[in-house]
Structure 1
Amino acid sequence: MIYRKIRGHKRRWGQIDNWITRESVLDVEYLKQNLYWYSDIAVHPWCDISLTRSQFPEPKGQTKKRILQGLENVYDNWKMELEKLSQPYYLKVWIYEPRFSKSQVVCAIDERIEHYKNVFNQSNFKSEESDLLNKLNPGFKWQSFLDEQPYWKSELLWPMNQYERIEDAYADRKLLKKLEKGNYRNEKTNDDIVFFIPKGKIWVGEK
């Protein structure tokens, strides 16, 4: 994996401030219609889709701290709005470690609550061992889950003439062989198979 250098961190901080302001407003109407709403880290370059095999390193230092504070700010504002609905709701912060840029705030109502309660596989990681969580309000209570990257067999066997680069087709087929030979968790779904590669931890927290 090739990592691309990130420049202009002070400019990123301005983008983070704009993201916090924008995402702190809960779209209640959308929530009522679709039963869920979420806020991921919509800050360049971490929200961008890479068209190559390269990627940006995860946020760190002051940038990471500002994003963490933003997630908590979004959580607090949404909690105030959800309380006004006078009905049960799901509201959690999902902190990914080490894939921090995937972190988000998620809320749901009605039958969608049960979906989010069962979306991850639980683990026995100890929150006290995470320096990341120590930077957030101690009022949070955390549960630990496995961060797993899913790969569908059908997608790794995509027709070779559909790829822009033939090298990517060969890389996908090489990965599939690795998944089939390795001891990875997998599930059968209809006529497909999903393989799960462990990537780290997910801390799910609420106040």
Structure 2
Amino acid sequence: MSQSENNVAHYAIIGFGKIGQALAKAFARKGIEVAVATTRDPESFASAAATIGPEIIPTTLMEAVKADIIFLAVRFEAHPDVAKALPNWQGKTIVDVTNAYGISPKQLGGQPSGRVVAQAFTDGKVVKGFNHLGAAILAQDPAVQGGRRVVFLASDDDDAATQVSALADNLGFAAIKLGGLSEGGLLVQAHGNTWGQLIFKDLVKF
């Protein structure tokens, strides 16, 4: 079997900074394979991926976007570049892990950042999620004192939110759905120099 048939089927993480690596650790912890890609050559981060675990498959951006569920773990400003990788994202679920901190509300056109991202990924289903925790906390085992660390999800597509919620559960987190991108998304978004009310709230569900 070729790598593309074998590995790049279900999950991918685009971006391999602190947040991307924290997400990769969550997959490795549960023995779930995930493709990781950046705009760089996969060789440039292969050793960092190997350090996390054999489940972390370094690949190219074009290979990673073949996945069904794609975690967008790049700087907010870089999301349009990733969106250009495919002319159409139909059938794909994009988990928007970006934070638009430092981006003015005017630059966002007065919209929640998740909706701006959704517009860039034509016909894709966007779920805002996994973005409210700092990398150091996200990288930790989500099993905490008999409970599970909470991740918030917001989406205008119920099916996509349910799909990502199931994945979050598989990764050991407790997913809480907050509703649509304009309602729930505002609670977990950053813009300008303000953070949504639920950002950095490290909650555990028992």
Q: Normalising to structure 2: TM-score of the pair?
A: 0.26
The structure whose Rg is larger is 1
| Structure ranking higher on relative contact order (CA contacts 8 Å, 6+ apart) | 1
Q: Relative to total residues, which structure has the larger helix share, 1 or 2?
A: 1
